[in-house]
Amino acid sequence: MDYNAFCNVLNKQIFNSSKRDLIVKIADNPERYIGLFRPTTPRAKIIQNLLQSNEIRFGDALEILFTKYFEQLGFVNLNRKIGDGKEYLDIDQIFKFGAFVYFIEQKVRDDHDSTKKRGQASNFEKKIAALLKQYRESELKCYTYFIDPGLMKNKKFYKDELEKIHLNYNVFTKLCYGKEFWDDIGHPEIWSELLQFLKRWRREIPDMPSVNFDDDASDTFYEIKDIDISVFNKIFKNDEICREILPILFPENKVLQLLHEYFIQKAEQGNIYITLSHKIKRTIERRDHQGCWLFSI
């Protein structure tokens, strides 16, 4: 895979809608950021939220990358939704190569607690049972695959569970970590390339996410401008959000000014846009030269 294409997948999946998602979370649950009974400041909580979101999205990005690698190798990706019309299950990876159908339950790392690991094993078995309604036992190769080989917290548990499934359903099951999976399908070079690209990519990303969304005001505006109008209404009618959160995210008012102008242009679509444009204007005007918010909307 081309390195730029590799980076595009990671950056798009991890970073491209992180600001939008954060705004929605703040609107829906402001107490998570500004509640009194928290050991973190609003700024710290925002950074924590962005970091956690990036971790989750990283797993999603790797899933997309692996699908692209399978396509590159000539494997035929199959429908990831399986079910009987009443209930559907989502498959992480499923593709056909030669006479076999490969099903992979793919996770970044094996660090689950006791409840989650049992849920993972149960879910794996449930998906195999559903797949057997479409494919013969001899066709299926079923893997539980943890990408990060540095964590093997529940290795014995998963090996035992996969052995039980193998005996009960007479299907191929295997637990793999890191390079083991790519060795098993005969393409260790993919793992080498993945490590090389990830090391290079990690050198290029910032240590910490920026919480100043005015730094790239235009990009931020285009990312968030079409959030549901009810979300913006929740934001700008909440005094605490306006006083404690907005100065962190929009310290120079650049994005707020763009939103104000945008809502004015949409005024003919409903009174709510007029109302919000006025609220944003008042928000900007009532902020003093030190960035303190002195008003109540």
- pLDDT of 227 > 60? The answer is yes
Round the average pLDDT of the chain to a whole number and report it.
90
- pLDDT of 282 > 60? The answer is yes
User: What pLDDT is stored for residue 289 in this prediction?
Assistant: 46
Instruction: Answer whether CATH 3.40.1560 is correct for domain 74-186.
Output: yes
pTM of the model: 0.82
Please state the domain extents for the chain.
74-186, 212-297
85 pLDDT band (50/70/90 cuts)? low
44 pLDDT band (50/70/90 cuts)? very high
Burial of 54 (0-12, 13-18, 19+ CB in 10 A): middle
What are the tens digits of pLDDT across the range 4-20? 999 999 999 998 888 99
User: What pLDDT is stored for residue 243 in this prediction?
Assistant: 87
What are the tens digits of pLDDT across the range 100-148? 999 999 999 999 888 889 999 999 999 999 999 989 999 999 999 999 9
